[in-house]
Protein backbone atom coordinates (compact mmCIF):
# COMPACT_ATOMS: atom_id res chain seq x y z
CA UNK A 1 0.00 0.00 0.00
CA UNK A 2 1.05 3.61 -0.55
CA UNK A 3 1.79 6.01 2.28
CA UNK A 4 3.00 9.60 2.42
CA UNK A 5 6.48 9.99 3.87
CA UNK A 6 7.40 13.28 5.48
CA UNK A 7 11.03 14.06 6.30
CA UNK A 8 11.99 10.39 6.63
CA UNK A 9 15.55 10.48 7.92
CA UNK A 10 18.31 8.03 7.19
CA UNK A 11 21.77 7.52 5.75
CA UNK A 12 22.68 7.02 2.10
CA UNK A 13 23.98 3.45 1.85
CA UNK A 14 24.46 3.20 -1.92
CA UNK A 15 23.81 5.31 -5.01
CA UNK A 16 22.76 4.28 -8.52
CA UNK A 17 23.41 7.23 -10.83
CA UNK A 18 22.05 5.51 -13.93
CA UNK A 19 18.58 5.14 -12.40
CA UNK A 20 18.74 8.28 -10.19
CA UNK A 21 18.03 6.13 -7.15
CA UNK A 22 19.70 5.51 -3.82
CA UNK A 23 19.32 3.22 -0.83
CA UNK A 24 18.26 4.92 2.41
CA UNK A 25 19.38 3.02 5.51
CA UNK A 26 17.42 3.42 8.70
CA UNK A 27 17.94 1.65 12.01
CA UNK A 28 16.16 -1.56 11.10
CA UNK A 29 15.37 -1.34 7.39
CA UNK A 30 16.46 0.01 4.05
CA UNK A 31 14.32 1.83 1.48
CA UNK A 32 15.05 2.29 -2.20
CA UNK A 33 14.48 5.95 -3.04
CA UNK A 34 13.71 6.72 -6.68
CA UNK A 35 14.13 10.31 -7.83
CA UNK A 36 13.37 11.99 -11.14
CA UNK A 37 13.60 15.35 -12.86
CA UNK A 38 10.91 16.85 -10.64
CA UNK A 39 12.50 15.76 -7.33
CA UNK A 40 13.85 18.76 -5.43
CA UNK A 41 17.29 18.43 -3.84
CA UNK A 42 18.36 20.81 -1.10
CA UNK A 43 21.26 21.21 1.25
CA UNK A 44 20.55 22.27 4.81
CA UNK A 45 19.60 25.95 4.67
CA UNK A 46 17.59 25.55 1.44
CA UNK A 47 20.49 25.73 -1.00
CA UNK A 48 19.28 24.02 -4.16
CA UNK A 49 21.42 21.14 -5.40
CA UNK A 50 21.04 17.99 -7.51
CA UNK A 51 21.24 14.21 -7.41
CA UNK A 52 24.90 14.42 -8.40
CA UNK A 53 25.71 16.05 -5.05
CA UNK A 54 24.52 13.00 -3.10
CA UNK A 55 27.33 11.05 -1.42
CA UNK A 56 27.45 7.71 0.37
CA UNK A 57 27.08 8.15 4.17
CA UNK A 58 25.23 11.47 3.77
CA UNK A 59 22.45 12.01 6.28
CA UNK A 60 19.29 12.86 4.35
CA UNK A 61 15.59 13.50 4.90
CA UNK A 62 13.18 12.28 2.22
CA UNK A 63 9.62 13.40 1.52
CA UNK A 64 7.50 11.43 -0.94
CA UNK A 65 5.31 8.35 -1.35
CA UNK A 66 6.40 4.92 -0.10
CA UNK A 67 5.04 1.58 -1.28
CA UNK A 68 5.19 -0.51 1.90
CA UNK A 69 5.00 -3.78 -0.06
CA UNK A 70 8.17 -3.08 -2.03
CA UNK A 71 9.92 -0.55 0.27
CA UNK A 72 10.31 1.76 -2.74
CA UNK A 73 9.91 5.51 -2.30
CA UNK A 74 9.11 8.00 -5.05
CA UNK A 75 10.77 11.15 -3.72
CA UNK A 76 9.34 14.65 -4.03
CA UNK A 77 12.22 16.17 -2.12
CA UNK A 78 15.55 15.14 -0.62
CA UNK A 79 17.36 17.31 1.93
CA UNK A 80 21.06 16.60 2.42
CA UNK A 81 22.00 17.36 6.04
CA UNK A 82 25.43 18.89 5.65
Terminal C-alpha separation, the chain: 32
Q: How many CB atoms lie within 10 A of CB 66?
A: 21
Tell me how far apart the alpha carbons of residues 28 and 30 are, in angstroms, rounded to a whole number.
7
Give the residue-averaged pLDDT of 74-82: 96
Give the residue-averaged pLDDT of 37-47: 93
Across the chain, mean pLDDT equals 96
| Tens digit of each residue's pLDDT (9 = 90 or more) over 55-69 | 999 999 999 999 999
- Record the pTM: 0.95
The answer to whether 81 touches 61, Cβ cutoff 8 Å, is: yes
Give the residue-averaged pLDDT of 26-37: 95
Amino acid sequence: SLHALSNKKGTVESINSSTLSFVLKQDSRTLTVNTNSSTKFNLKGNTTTSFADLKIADKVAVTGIVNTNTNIVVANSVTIKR
